[in-house]
Amino acid sequence: MFKEIFLFELKYRFKRPATWAYFGILLVFGLIVAISGDVPASEKAYVNAPTTITRMLSIISIFGIMLASAIMGVPIYRDIEHKTENYYFSYPISEKGYILGRFLGSLCILFLVSLGFQIGLIIGFAIGPNAGFTEAERFITLNLWHYIQPTLLIYWTNFFFAGAIFFALVTMTKRIMLAYAGGAILFIGYLITLTLTQDIENKNLVSILDPFAFETFNNITRYWTPVEQNTQILPLTSALIWNRLLWVGIGLVAFLFTFFRFDFIKFLNKKFKTKKKHENLDASNPTAALTKLPKVSQVFSSGLSIKLLFDLAKMEFKNIIRDNFFRAILIAALAFLLFDAFFGFPIYGTPSLPLTYYMLEVKNFNYSILIFVLIVFMTGEVLHRERGVNYDQIFGSLPLKNRIVYASKFLALVMISFMLVNLVLLSGVLAQTLQGYFNYQFDMYFTDLYLIEFPKYITFILLAFFVHSIVTKKFMGHVIAIAIWALLFGINAFLKVDNNLYLYGYTPGYTVSDMNGFGHFGKALFWFKTYWLACGGVLLVIGYLFWKRGTDSGRKARWQLAKERLNLRTISTGILLLVVFIGSGAFINHNTKTINKYKNEEEGEIAQAAYEKTLSKYDKIAQPKVIDVKVNADLTPENRSARIKTTYLMVNKTNENIDSLHINWGAEGLLKKEVNTFTIEGKSPKLGNSYDDFGYEIYALDKPLKPNDTVTMVLDITGYYKGFPNEGTGSAIVYNGTFLNDNFFPSFGYNANAEMTSDLDRKKYGLPIKDYQLPEQDDPWGTSNLLFNDDADYITFEGTVSTAPDQIAVMPGYLQKEWEENGRRYFTYKMEGDLDFFYNISSANYNIHKDIWTGKNGEKVNIEIFHHPTHTYNIDRFVKGVKHSMDYFSENYGPYQYRQMRILEFPRYATFAQSFPNTVPFSESFGWVGDFSDPEDLDYVYTVTSHEVAHQWWGHQITPSATRGSNQVSESMAEYSSLMVMKKEYGIDAMQDFLKRELDNYLRGRANESKFEKTLLDNDTQAYVWYRKGGLILYALQDLIGEDNLNSGFKAYTEAARYRQKAPFTTTKEWYHYMNSVTPDSLKYYLEDSFEKITLYSNKISKASYKKLADDKYKVTITVESSKEYFDGLGKLLKTSEKPNLLDIGIFDNDIKNSNGMTIKSPLFIKKIWVKPGESTFTFTTDKLPVKAGIDPYNKMIDRIPDDNLISVEEETD
Amino acid sequence: MELQIKDLSKTYSNGVHALKNVSLNIPQGMFGLLGPNGAGKSSLMRTLATLQQADSGSIMLDDIDILKDKGRVREILGYLPQEFGVYPKISSYNMLNHIASLKGISNKDERKDLVESLLNKTNLWDVRNKSLGTYSGGMKQRFGIAQALIGEPKLIVVDEPTAGLDPAERVRFHNLLSEIGENTIVILSTHIVDDVSNLCNNMAIICLGEVVAQGKPSALIENVKGKVWKKTIDKSEIENYKQEMQVISTHLKSGDTVIHVLNDSQPDSSFEACEADLEDVYFAEISSRMDTALA
């Protein structure tokens, strides 16, 4: 019996167009991805590398939930749907044969259909090299095992799991809806595991619990370098095996449960029950038919039409919210909102306070996906409601105007949207209240939800409404509507079309800030929303013409109807909307393209390449250097403009005559600049050559500037914004929170930082590959210029700035004078001593918190925290960070160079902190609103403050040259310094968490490297090397050779290099020399491994046991494995070391909590021991019962699997 | 008031020629549209109910052009489709109330009275708070007529209302229909001859999209009076009879096969005269056009 049912299922499915449609979609998708070569992988990985293929299969199998539900949900339900169950089950078939046949038949189909993607990929990768979208060298030849292995291990097992669940759900409940709801639940569960992985500690758990093994895959491959990605297939780690066994097991259990429980009689039972209940109520009453009907009056006025419009909309609204599918999704959506509101905004794993804008941003996460799906499906339901329940004929013949019915349905969906935006409000307030935060900013909620989000949902609806009006088959409508969105997404993501004017419903991004509210985004949003609403409106009118009322879906009949409906009213509405659409589109285009020079990605690249080709001949030409700057700035934040006059004193520090000045404005950007005055030595200079596209002008000097000659230049510029751009904020001058820096002004000469860097892009535009941005450490040009700005060495500075009367403006230096004049507020600042040519002008409505640090010698530093009035939460942490840093740095590196330290808050248009001389601007969302109530969480305000204060020494006192590796002198040293301050305050256990995070970032960074990883001595572009690796290595170095010892080397370095006035400026060679000088010969191997090479350890403890001795002591025996490997920049293994290394070996009691409530390790024994590569066994004696033991237990070394360094100690059994 | 259908034709996009130059004059009162399955009855009914376009022809209800002026027709129309449902999870009471408001009965009290009377009239009062999904076939049809009666319609279109009902329900349904006011046009399509003979004073027979007969039932019966003959035969002989004469129907009676034959005179002495009824008229019309495999 099984065989017939199984074969019937196959045959039946092969005849269904849906089967082929699913297959075709996957095939085409695979083809597109493969031919375009646009795969999720870094530039150095092959597009069809085994890891990439596995990753793509994993992702597709997650989206395959839909496919699994569509295919596995229906085989049993089919008999209910087509009402065949009553006779089908009367045939001589067995339940088991029936279930097994349908299940396996469908499963086979699911597996076969799913192969469409692989087939698409294989064909696509064969075509790819000749198609020209991606370089042919990024394709490798076909290896079938690269497809078969992940298909068996991940792809099909995921389909099996999901399919078995859906099959069981629908069979046992007879509700097809559950296939969808089940899909939603599975998807939710899935996204929750993804969120949990934000916390590194849970990685192993997630690896096992992820139903789709995607995170398992990620956890295995996350540190794989491109070379490893290109060659290795997914290894069968224990987590992966357990994961697969677990989820296939659950799928199997679900199926077996169904298999044994299924019973024809029970399956049919339910229906009879419900019917019988009412049969007896229907008593016959022969006189009933004679009941006279009362006279009624009927009105068909237009006033009534309006009332009916609302009645109908209300009825439809009720119909929607009664829908179980809608409710299921809605509950899921609400769960997401709350979940994300609670866990959504950590920085370094530390949560943020539930501010209103965070609560609002939650809607852009998972919620938006669900809402989108909900809107498409609900629109389909609404437009097919009457047809779906067979009420269409009665309804269609009711005396209702077409436009009333059509509008009522639209209105109902608008009401649903309104409910959906309010759901965000509800969940936001709920999440805030539950977290004990009561500063609800309702004006922010209302503005964002009602004026920005609500129209967005309506735009969604308009398109879905149009599609479902035109397409009379509901399922087809869903497919087309989702396909349109997928297409838009694809065009945006893969074809890199990002002009919001061409992507239906797309509007510029915006950021809400406490400091600047909705800022300057309103205008662009208004016009784009108007544009898309009008476009949607036109679609709505077209949809109306073809919308089906009645039973006739023939093309002829619908055209005929459309002609009838094309009356004056519809034509004029349509034309009006079209005019608004085209008019606003033209206006937007004028603003984005004409005024703000919108360029798509390719145009941008072409311009970038042209810049280099045209102007690189001026690279490193001799130009005078600025030595003194006087600024006169008038800020008008009210209309986002500023007029700034700067007087530069410049000197020729070169040995040659300079006969022309190269002014580099950069290509015209969002901030428009108008020159009011430009004089050199009091005279307007003569423009020689100019390259308008790049904003590059060359002025001939009246007489050549001889070596050591000085010259005065005055630039008076007005900067302002005009119109609005397609995307991007233009956030230098804003209503509250202006943050301008010296690049408001032009630079001198060619700027090599504006060149394109990607190897592939450079090849594409015929530019030579550039491995390094900066010259070598002994390059004369490099050592005679400073890293951050080659237009000056050190400068002196003073200036006056005016701003709005309710704002405070800040510039470098000490406040000399403050006054009000003409309704503006003025501030004069003057800097004492030198600063590098790197300053900012800020202005905002600030409150100032003041404190004083007093040094050991009685020196005082004023600490000033300029903060947004309501952001008072963490001010003490900033202050503490500054004070502790001052303590540590002045002691270990030498005195602080200024008498004040200022921290400024700026709006959250960017998330960073940056160290200017005596001033550190901190983004609004970076620390000011962090929630540090849990002592286990990292106090990043403290560490980042410390890092930025350290830059006052490393960067501003020791200002490195423009040579390779120089960033390490500033960034790695600042990172090291902050680690030391943090260690002193929080102890080594807090360090371990932080270092593990650093390690994770470093290993991830090198895995995604698009060129090749550079060493600490010559890295010039890779932030993961200078922050992460730099911090890790220097931390371990001080641990190895002693903190004081290392610091003595740094102090000697500081004394030699601080404020070096003349070239050659300092390089990593000098820095390295001082570290070398304090490192004993026995440990020099570590310096060499870490600074000159790329070295990875693999330390692991494989066995630990103890035996109780007679005298209440314990003998602990541990076996460790250690290896050290050298890699090249691409991640290729070069060599395995055979020399021993000095590593921590430790034995621990149970973890304890320290006085701050933080969990810390409790060592019984810890010692640095020379460990040979390979396996070693050690024996120790402890006084207390050993609980855990490990090698490098604090994770100081760079080790790709840090979690196997510590295990529990077992008691030995004889 | 009179409904005039002239030369109405309709071909569906799949090629089915559903209506071929249908012309009918339908006066007030109950009008039966009799035809086998697939004759085009529902197409005609849906066109009358403004749910469908016609390719050519016209339908006039006095001065209202049904094909063009759909809005006005709908104001005076009551329609019970062959198959229907309503929104799920809504009680009959609320649904009728909703439909009443859609039919322009804006006064709340009037609406309430009307809905309650309708529920009483259709004997659904006791189940008024149940949703349609829980109703039996007969209850559902009664609900159907209740909604069609809302708003004193001048034109009531009832499409195959008795199909699938048991005899007792059919009687109830007939009672309901017979109560509909005199000055209303009620068009009842059916393939059950009894429906027409019990209820209608005018009728038409439609077959393969064409009107093949129309008039008063009595007049139509008059036409075949004295021309219908019956004979009990052996089942195996049936094909012979079919070739020789116009066999309009075959019945089984206590296991024997009885045929009715249409002929101007007695075919031979083995046939006996038969009292012609509407069924004979119906079969006489359609048997000549299609193979009626009746038993």
CB contacts under 8 A, B 144-203 vs A, are 144, 147-149, 151-152, 168, 172, 175-176, 178-179
Per-residue model confidence as pLDDT tens digits over A1012-1033: 999 999 999 999 999 999 999 9
Per-residue model confidence as pLDDT tens digits over A482-517: 888 888 887 887 777 889 999 999 999 999 999 999
Domain CATH number, residue B82: 3.40.50.300
CB A529 within 8 A of CB A507: yes
- Whether A294 sits inside 8 A of B147 (CB atoms) is no
Contact B98/A at CB under 8 A: yes
Residue B221 within any structural domain of the chain = no
Q: Which amino acid type is present at position A613? A: K
- Whether B105 sits inside 8 A of A296 (CB atoms) is yes
Question: Residue B292: its pLDDT value, please?
Answer: 53
Whether residues B111 and B62 share a domain: the answer is: yes
Average pLDDT over residues B69-90: 90
- Residue A274, pLDDT > 50, answer no
pLDDT tier, A212 (very low <50, low <70, confident <90, very high otherwise)? confident
Question: Residue A201: its pLDDT value, please?
Answer: 62
Whether residues B27 and B9 share a domain: the answer is: yes
Those residues whose C-beta lies under 8 Å from the C-beta of residue A338, and which sit 6 or more positions away, are: A427, A430, A431
Question: Residue A197: its pLDDT value, please?
Answer: 62
- Whether B102 sits inside 8 A of A552 (CB atoms) is no
Residue B292 within any structural domain of the chain = no
Specify the long-range contacts of residues A86-90, CB closer than 8 Å, at least 24 apart: A86/A268, A89/A264, A89/A267, A89/A268
State how far Cα A221 lies from the chain centre. Answer: 20
Q: A444 versus A937: which is more confidently predicted?
A: A444
Which of B183, B216, B249 terminates a domain? The answer is B216
Range ranked top by mean pLDDT from A551-565, A714-728, A1148-1162, B252-266:
A714-728
Q: Which chain B residues contact residue A391 at CB under 8 A?
A: 84-87
- Whether A396 sits inside 8 A of B49 (CB atoms) is yes
- Residue A292, pLDDT > 90, answer no
Looking at chain A, which residue has its C-alpha nearest residue B72?
Answer: A399
Whether residues B55 and B169 share a domain: the answer is: yes
- Whether B103 sits inside 8 A of A294 (CB atoms) is no
Question: Residue A117: its pLDDT value, please?
Answer: 94
Q: A636 versus A363: which is more confidently predicted?
A: A636
- Residue B267, pLDDT > 80, answer yes
- Closest Cβ–Cβ partner in B49, B85, B106 for A397: B49
pLDDT tier, A801 (very low <50, low <70, confident <90, very high otherwise)? very high
- Contacts A–B by Cβ distance under 8 A: 166
Specify the long-range contacts of residues A1211-1214, CB closer than 8 Å, at least 24 apart: A1211/A1105, A1211/A1106, A1211/A1107, A1211/A1108, A1212/A1105, A1212/A1106, A1212/A1107, A1212/A1117
Question: Residue A1157: its pLDDT value, please?
Answer: 80
- Residue B294, pLDDT > 50, answer no
Question: Residue B295: its pLDDT value, please?
Answer: 36
Nearest to A960 by CA among A970, A946, A948: A970
Euclidean distance between CA atoms A34 and A128, whole angstroms: 6
Whether residues B54 and B171 share a domain: the answer is: yes
The least confident of A203-217, A560-574, A577-591, A715-729 is: A203-217
The least confident of A202-216, A891-905, A1167-1181 is: A202-216
Euclidean distance between CA atoms A770 and A786, whole angstroms: 21
Residue B109 within any structural domain of the chain = yes
Question: Residue A272: its pLDDT value, please?
Answer: 45
pLDDT tier, A1203 (very low <50, low <70, confident <90, very high otherwise)? confident
- Whether A550 sits inside 8 A of B12 (CB atoms) is no
Euclidean distance between CA atoms A544 and A466, whole angstroms: 8
- Residue A83, pLDDT > 80, answer no
- Whether A294 sits inside 8 A of B113 (CB atoms) is yes
CB A1125 within 8 A of CB A1093: no
Contact B16/A at CB under 8 A: no
Q: Which chain B residues contact residue A555 at CB under 8 A?
A: 13
A1093-1214: CATH topology: Immunoglobulin-like (2.60.40)
- Whether B49 sits inside 8 A of A556 (CB atoms) is no
ipTM (interface predicted TM): 0.92
Whether residues B131 and B247 share a domain: the answer is: no
- Residue A275, pLDDT > 60, answer no
Question: Residue A282: its pLDDT value, please?
Answer: 58
Residue B123 within any structural domain of the chain = yes
Residue B210 within any structural domain of the chain = yes
Whether residues B157 and B44 share a domain: the answer is: yes
The least confident of A444-448, A548-552, A746-750, B230-234 is: A548-552
Average pLDDT over residues B33-38: 88
- Residue A277, pLDDT > 50, answer no
- Answer whether the bond into residue A1064 is a cis peptide, omega within 30°: yes
Reduced DSSP (H G I as helix, E B as strand, rest coil) percent helix, strand, coil of chain B, to 5: 35, 30, 35
- Whether A390 sits inside 8 A of B77 (CB atoms) is no
Q: Which chain B residues contact residue A285 at CB under 8 A?
A: 123
CA distance A322 to chain B (A): 8
Q: Which chain B residues contact residue A552 at CB under 8 A?
A: 46, 51-53
Question: Residue A281: its pLDDT value, please?
Answer: 53
Average pLDDT over residues A583-600: 92
Whether residues B234 and B89 share a domain: the answer is: no
Tokens read off for A168:
């069981």
Question: Residue A922: its pLDDT value, please?
Answer: 94
Whether residues B191 and B234 share a domain: the answer is: no
Tokens read off for A705:
């500037």
Q: pTM of whole model > 0.90?
A: no
- Whether A289 sits inside 8 A of B52 (CB atoms) is no
Task: Say how many CA atoms lie within 13 Å of A1017 toward its Cβ.
Answer: 17
A621-724+735-749+789-950: CATH topology: Immunoglobulin-like (2.60.40)
Per-residue model confidence as pLDDT tens digits over A326-349: 888 888 888 888 888 887 788 888
Instruction: State how many domains chain B has.
Output: 2
The least confident of A339-348, A587-596, A791-800, A1101-1110 is: A339-348
Per-residue model confidence as pLDDT tens digits over A372-427: 888 988 999 999 988 888 899 999 999 988 999 999 999 999 999 999 999 999 99
Q: Which chain B residues contact residue A275 at CB under 8 A?
A: 134, 136
Euclidean distance between CA atoms B27 and B202, whole angstroms: 8
Euclidean distance between CA atoms A1174 and A1158, whole angstroms: 35
At A651, is the secondary structure helix, strand, or coil?
A: strand
Residue B205 within any structural domain of the chain = yes
pLDDT tier, B13 (very low <50, low <70, confident <90, very high otherwise)? confident
Question: Residue A556: its pLDDT value, please?
Answer: 84
All CATH 2.60.40.1730 domain ranges in chain A, comma separated: 621-724+735-749+789-950
Per-residue model confidence as pLDDT tens digits over A950-977: 999 999 999 999 999 999 999 999 999 9
- Whether A278 sits inside 8 A of B130 (CB atoms) is yes
- Whether A390 sits inside 8 A of B134 (CB atoms) is no
pLDDT tier, A184 (very low <50, low <70, confident <90, very high otherwise)? low
Contact B56/A at CB under 8 A: no
Provide the residue range defining the domain that includes B8: 3-216
Question: Residue B247: its pLDDT value, please?
Answer: 86
Average pLDDT over residues B208-217: 91
Contact B89/A at CB under 8 A: yes
- Whether A293 sits inside 8 A of B88 (CB atoms) is no
Looking at chain A, which residue has its C-alpha nearest residue B171?
Answer: A286
The least confident of A204-208, A606-610, A1073-1077, B253-257 is: A204-208
Residue B9 within any structural domain of the chain = yes
Nearest to A1101 by CA among A1210, A1167, A1190, A1199: A1190
Query: To the nearest whole number, what is the mean pLDDT of chain A?
Result: 89
- Residue A613, pLDDT > 90, answer yes
Average pLDDT over residues A1173-1197: 93
Question: Residue A276: its pLDDT value, please?
Answer: 46
Looking at chain A, which residue has its C-alpha nearest residue B79?
Answer: A394
Average pLDDT over residues A1181-1202: 92
- Residue A1166, pLDDT > 70, answer yes
Question: Residue A346: its pLDDT value, please?
Answer: 85
Average pLDDT over residues A651-673: 91
Whether residues B238 and B207 share a domain: the answer is: no
Whether residues B237 and B156 share a domain: the answer is: no
Whether residues B19 and B121 share a domain: the answer is: yes
Per-residue model confidence as pLDDT tens digits over A425-481: 999 999 999 999 999 999 999 999 999 999 999 999 999 999 999 988 887 888 888
Average pLDDT over residues B14-37: 91
